């Protein structure tokens, strides 16, 4: 499982060799192949950009050094990404899809090898795959690089960076931590919140009292059921306040996301915490069992 990174600033990727990702590479889980595209320039000054045809501001990345660098890493066989502010915005769904691709999961086939791969043996399908990320600069890159190498454009947000390197680092970090073995055993990539799909609840550690600030009593109670419910409530509150869009998605698809139905105590919390509009969304997406629990709780509240 290799990530080829094509850049004219290879030094910017030094931090990849630190921390969790550095350890993952040392342990042979993932390999980072950082390639200096300038090395492939045939120009005597190692130039990689030129003026845009048709005029206009800025410079454009030339196809020759890019094509040769892409050939050198075998990018005709890899899924190729061009970091660009006009691309699909990176989110958890895309990060999971890319991690699955790297592991040779099912999401990989269509993109990497087309129809032929669908009939390949399970063993072949499970083989790990490589990803190639191209970091642009200047006003952009010659469109033929994107078209001929079937590059998917990926953005890390609606703002413009000076180049694709920092964006590539963000993408790599978000994807690599989803590869089994990259995070230490004590961490689970998808377990930030027990109620996956909501923002993470507040965390506290030692000491119990710090400069007059204390830890919520419930966390010291040892009652794990109550602690989990407190965390669920905090997650719901935070998500409602900071990311109402995420809360709405959770209300619609929590069952598929977490592979289980909500229990009575959780439904009670949602009744108390949701506004009218969210509550209507919630009601519309309940399973039969959840709907019965909801009716029971509401009935009890009425009494
Ligand atoms: N290159 C420049 N800006 C970018 C962004 N927002 N996302 C990805 N690549 C970029």
Select from 160, 165, 170, 173 the residue to mutate for testing ligand 1; criterion: most ligand atoms less than 8 Å from CB. 160
For ligand 1, whether the C-beta of 4 sits within 6 Å is no
Q: What is the best residue among 7, 83, 168 to mutate for testing ligand 1's pocket, by most ligand atoms within 8 Å of CB? A: 83
pLDDT at 26 over 70: yes
The mean pLDDT value for 28-34 works out to 96
Find, among 258, 246, 249, 241, the residue nearest to 285 by Cα. Answer: 249
How do residues 39-64 score in pLDDT, each as one tens digit? 999 999 999 999 999 999 999 999 99
pLDDT tier, 107 (very low <50, low <70, confident <90, very high otherwise): low
Report the b/e string of 248-280 with b at 16+ CB within 10 A. Answer: bbbbeebeeeeeeebeeebbbbbeebbeeebee
pLDDT-derived band at 138 (thresholds 50, 70, 90) equals confident
pLDDT at 191: 58
pLDDT value of position 184: 74
Long-range contacts of 140-143 (CB under 8 A, 24+ apart): 140/58, 140/60, 140/61, 140/84, 141/60, 141/61, 141/66, 141/82, 142/60, 142/61, 142/62, 142/63, 142/66
Is the CB of 85 inside a 6 Å radius of any atom of ligand 1? yes
pLDDT band at 121 (very low <50, low <70, confident <90, very high): very low
Q: How confident is the model at residue 158 (pLDDT cuts 50, 70, 90)?
A: very high
pLDDT of residue 30: 96
Residue nearest to atom 2 of ligand 1 (CA): 161
**This prediction's pTM:** 0.85
């Amino acid at each position: 499982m290799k990530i080829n990174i094509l850049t004219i600033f290879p030094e910017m990727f030094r931090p990849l060799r630190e921390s969790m990702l550095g350890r993952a590479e040392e342990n042979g889980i993932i390999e980072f192949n950082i390639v200096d595209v300038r090395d492939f320039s045939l120009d005597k000054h190692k130039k990689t950009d030129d003026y845009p045809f048709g005029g206009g501001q800025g410079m454009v990345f030339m196809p020759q050094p890019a094509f040769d660098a892409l050939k050198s890493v075998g990018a005709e066989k890899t899924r190729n990404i061009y970091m660009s502010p006009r691309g699909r915005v990176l989110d958890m769904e895309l990060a999971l899809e890319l991690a699955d691709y790297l592991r040779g999961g099912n999401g990989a086939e269509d993109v990497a090898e087309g129809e032929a791969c669908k009939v390949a043996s399970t063993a072949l399908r499970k083989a790990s795959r490589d990803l190639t990320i191209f970091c642009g600069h200047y006003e952009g890159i010659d469109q033929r690089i994107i078209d001929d190498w079937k590059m998917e454009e990926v953005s890390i947000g609606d703002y413009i960076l000076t180049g694709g390197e920092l964006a590539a680092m963000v993408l790599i970090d978000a994807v690599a931590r989803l590869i089994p073995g990259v995070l230490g055993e004590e961490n689970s990539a998808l377990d930030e919140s027990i109620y996956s799909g909501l923002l993470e609840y507040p965390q506290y550690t030692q000491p119990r009292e710090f400069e007059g600030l204390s830890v919520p009593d419930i966390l010291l109670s040892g009652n794990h059921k109550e602690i989990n419910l407190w965390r669920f409530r905090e997650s719901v509150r935070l998500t409602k306040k900071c990311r109402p869009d995420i809360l709405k998605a959770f209300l619609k698809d929590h069952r598929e996301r977490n592979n289980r139905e909500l229990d009575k105590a959780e439904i009670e919390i949602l009744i108390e915490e949701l506004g009218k509009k969210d509550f209507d969304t919630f009601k519309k997406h309940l399973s039969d069992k959840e709907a019965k629990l909801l009716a029971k709780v509401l009935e009890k509240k009425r009494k």
